[in-house]
Chains A and B, each alone.
Chain A
């Protein structure tokens, strides 16, 4: 049928009351009520009326493979050029492992930027005091206090670019 249900809904009441339209009128009504019922089911029917139960997060992770736990090597080996392909693989794996290890060591030894900045921030005043003469020292401490408060007070605002 041309049109479809969307168009039928738009037929006027008077037209639907006509005798030859009775069947269509009934069908439209049925469809409407069905749709309504469906919506009701969607909203409420399938919801359990229970207090909400939360799935507790397990603190265990299962790892069935001993390979990953013990960090075992791949089981193909070749020595003194018996199988060049395997030897290439072994070499690649060894360098990869070495890289990972050296990176880890470096990470441990490295002083990161924030730590460095923090350290220097505290040292700044002390070192400045050391190089200052006695007379300047008192002035320096005052100045230092003043600058710190000033820094706090200075509010960063948006600087509008000049348009010329």
Chain B
């Protein structure tokens, strides 16, 4: 068995002898890898990652988002077109969001969404040949944190997709540590957009800077930074 994990791969390379799960003898291939009959072809350049029991994917530095089914993302309403809204989600094409895909929306009762609004939505259809389709409800018809955000303040900025992944992973303490000393709310979209709202503009700016500075920090460094930040904001 060759250990592939952690090596750099370029698009077009073939990978053989991947480790399969002992129970089901299956291999789960993630983003950056494509199945071609009996072999696996790399489609992105980056490091091959492996996670027990049988997950493989390519980890690369990305800034351009490609829609993936199930991802929660932040979109900006670009147009209203009949019964759908068209949202800019930072990928190659605008995404559509049906006006019925909001909590409590009916044909009579349209949701209050205007051009320029920021919407936190989930990607339902992501196909390479079609435009992505978004929804703002879960399978029970409830919003569950999705919907229009940022009506009453807040600030949205763009980061790399890797930072987003880092922020959402369970071993990153940044948001929690910031939350210890500050009163704030945020929404993180898998398309690289982060929306932050704190009680004042200066707090919001500080939070944005802290988040964008944390991409290559370790947890200890993050702790030190947060301490410094809360002290500075408190006026010490």
Contacts and interface: CB of A to CB of B under 8 A. Distances in A.
Given A82-B185, A86-B185, A63 B28 contact: yes
A58 B18 CA distance: 14
B31 A61 contact: no
Given A70-B169, A89-B144, A77 B179 contact: yes
- Give the secondary structure class of B's interface: mixed
Interface string B4-35: 00000000000000001000011111110001
Contact of A60 (B40, B68, B120, B176): B40
B71 A63 contact: no
A63 B29 contact: yes
A79 B145 contact: no
B186 A77 contact: yes
A77 B175 contact: yes
Contacts of B176: 79
Nearest to A66: B31
B215 to A, nearest CB: 16
A59 to B, nearest CB: 6
A79 B178 contact: yes
B197 interface: yes
A82 B26 contact: no
Choose among B30, B40, B175, B182 the residue with the greatest number of A CB atoms under 10 Å from its CB: B30
B57 A66 contact: yes
B108 to A, nearest CB: 25
Nearest to B189: A75
A82 B149 CA distance: 13
A149 B14 CA distance: 61
A58 B71 CA distance: 26
A79 B40 CA distance: 43
Contacts of A64: 30-31, 68-69, 126
Interface of A: 58-83, 85-86, 89
17 contacts: A60-B26, A60-B28, A60-B35, A60-B40, A61-B28, A65-B71, A69-B55, A70-B165, A71-B169, A73-B169, A77-B185, A79-B175, A80-B184, A81-B183, A82-B184, A82-B185, A83-B185
Given A66-B190, A77-B187, A83-B185, 15 more contacts: A60-B28, A60-B29, A62-B29, A63-B30, A64-B69, A66-B57, A67-B68, A68-B70, A71-B170, A72-B165, A72-B169, A73-B169, A77-B185, A79-B179, A80-B182
Interface of B: 20, 25-31, 35, 40, 51, 55, 57, 68-72, 120, 126, 144-145, 164-165, 167-170, 175-176, 178-180, 182-190, 197-199
